[in-house]
Structure 1
């Protein structure tokens, strides 16, 4: 039987993460027991102490055990905890050495959504890839520059460490783990019972691009604003370098450092975000939207749009246009 430690961190912990994770593993147990087989999982709620604690100041959660009572576990699951991430990490710092020790003893570790901040604070993600909620991507990159963040992904799986994207993407990761530990048939059953799209693998369609301006490089901020105000036009790196009196190589280096995008990537993302808004809210066809945001090559537009959103322009329009979908 696989022992699962579902952590109850200090702070505003996601109750939906806790309940869904607990139920999906225990329902798998119910299914195998009905088939005359022994249960697969022992799930325990693991706190900093055994004391009940409040989430949102409303709901009380009672841990089964404190983390220092567990000598060995097979799987540690870290739910999302909302609030100031520096404070969240500090409040839960006692978990870190225990998580590291368990991992080195052979346990696997999971973070759900912004639980990735607690996981990253252990150092176990350094040099590895992970994902988290796309809204927290910029903050995560600033706090953990040694981690390769792939914020468009729903799931990452690397070296016995798993992470999930935003909010209810956690459900996809739990189904993934059920499949790994209990087989494809059990995962399919779980996905049907909980009505989860088992094949969803990207949060790109849900990402709203907002120019990353939480930095102190004022000339780069002005360059970003210029791009956002003139995205319909053809903008080049040389043009920006000349406009803002910055050498080309210096501009490219500073732009990448400040925004985590190259200049070309930033221009593309601004254009595609404008295209998404038009596809969601207007009756313009794909070609009309393409020309409106400054593209003239339909193939190039489709390729870039799909790379950024995970969907073709037509798929995106059919899925998200308010007038079409009603």
Structure 2
């Protein structure tokens, strides 16, 4: 490695139950990016120094470095958790250190459930962020002052960068390589690793996961009915009748319980069924549209693209190549 100063130091924080696979994977990704930069630009190529940080009891200390040095991390990454997100009590040893890094100019980054630790610092208040869609409800309850956008896989908001899925550390890593070493090096690194360059969206992969533990028995009854019928014949009058509520009362309670309007809820349920059929069957888009309750295939295509981010054909090509070929 050249003796000149690195383009940046990226520190990776190892907190309780952090996914070590992501810690080491990110380290390898930046090491590969350095090599790609050197191969293309020679000895004067910019490079990234990687450090690991851990709670040593009395302080957060550097426990690993790819090259010796005493610089402050320009970026701090909070990797995914192996299972559940960090609790408020577990986060306490790290929040002051993270706030201090931010005050000194570090860009704070999180992947998946790492967003919970980042949010405990208060840095996310009023900001747009993402985390894994599976944790969206828990995150919203713990941090109601944060704008959560789980449709997006990566949100680069300048001094805060958040990535959604548990494997989105590759997307975050490539985004940082793009910012620090340039797009040519980023694309070469992505090609070497055989991963897609940044630009994917989490909603391509997330299943519709409705709120059910809201405590409103009348609305839950309607949700079970919608699931059983595939939302066929789900008019406002029919849903209100299932709940045994007046329509205006039903609308208010449904939105309070599920976070969605009934029409929006039914659309997501039908699109979820369409995704399954596109992944597992050879049926035409027109037939699938009809099966899930849409007589106008053109309207179905537009709605599918708005919800999923891909057209039905693009979705099938990505997730069911055998069906597309057939």
Shorter-chain-normalised TM-score: which range?
A: 0.7 to 0.9
What displacement does 1:325 show?
6.6
Does structure 2 retain, via aligned residues, the 8 Å contact 1:25–1:41?
yes
For 1:257 and 1:124, the matched residues in 2 are separated by 28
Query: Alpha-carbon deviations, 1:262-295, whole Å to 9, x = none?
Result: 2111100111111111222222211111111111
Does structure 2 retain, via aligned residues, the 8 Å contact 1:50–1:64?
no
Report 1:180-195 matches (<5 A).
180-195=179-194
2:119: which partner in 1?
Answer: 120
Match status 1:315 vs 2:314: yes
1:36: which partner in 2?
Answer: 43
What displacement does 1:199 show?
4.4
Match status 1:15 vs 2:20: yes
2:174: which partner in 1?
Answer: 175
Match status 1:98 vs 2:97: yes
1:4: which partner in 2?
Answer: 10
For 2:28 and 2:84, the matched residues in 1 are separated by 28
Does structure 1 retain, via aligned residues, the 8 Å contact 2:231–2:266?
no
The normalised TM-score by structure 2 is 0.86
2:55: which partner in 1?
Answer: 48
Consecutive unaligned residues of structure 2, counting only runs of 5 or more, are: 1-5
For 2:234 and 2:314, the matched residues in 1 are separated by 28
Match status 1:25 vs 2:30: yes
Consecutive unaligned residues of structure 1, counting only runs of 5 or more, are: 52-61
What displacement does 1:45 show?
0.4
Does structure 1 retain, via aligned residues, the 8 Å contact 2:221–2:242?
no
For 1:33 and 1:310, the matched residues in 2 are separated by 37
Does structure 1 retain, via aligned residues, the 8 Å contact 2:84–2:113?
no
What displacement does 1:122 show?
1.7
For 1:285 and 1:305, the matched residues in 2 are separated by 14
The normalised TM-score by structure 1 is 0.86
Deviates more, 1:192-201 or 1:164-173: 192-201
Distance 1:322 1:4, change over 3 A: closer
Query: Alpha-carbon deviations, 1:159-204, whole Å to 9, x = none?
Result: 4101112122220121111111211111111111212211432022
Deviates more, 1:307-316 or 1:23-32: 23-32
What displacement does 1:232 show?
4.8
For 1:236 and 1:147, the matched residues in 2 are separated by 34
For 2:211 and 2:319, the matched residues in 1 are separated by 25
2:3: which partner in 1?
Answer: none
Distance 1:86 1:218, change over 3 A: farther
Q: Which runs of 4+ in 1 moved over 6 A?
A: none
Match status 1:131 vs 2:158: no
1:81: which partner in 2?
Answer: 81
Distance 1:271 1:74, change over 3 A: same
Distance 1:159 1:255, change over 3 A: farther
User: Aligned residues, how many?
Assistant: 310
> RMSD in angstroms over aligned alpha carbons?
2.5
Does structure 2 retain, via aligned residues, the 8 Å contact 1:30–1:39?
no
Distance 1:39 1:317, change over 3 A: closer
Report 1:126-275 matches (<5 A).
126-275=125-274
Does structure 1 retain, via aligned residues, the 8 Å contact 2:218–2:244?
no
Does structure 2 retain, via aligned residues, the 8 Å contact 1:281–1:322?
no
What displacement does 1:307 show?
1.5
For 1:221 and 1:291, the matched residues in 2 are separated by 26
Does structure 1 retain, via aligned residues, the 8 Å contact 2:86–2:117?
no
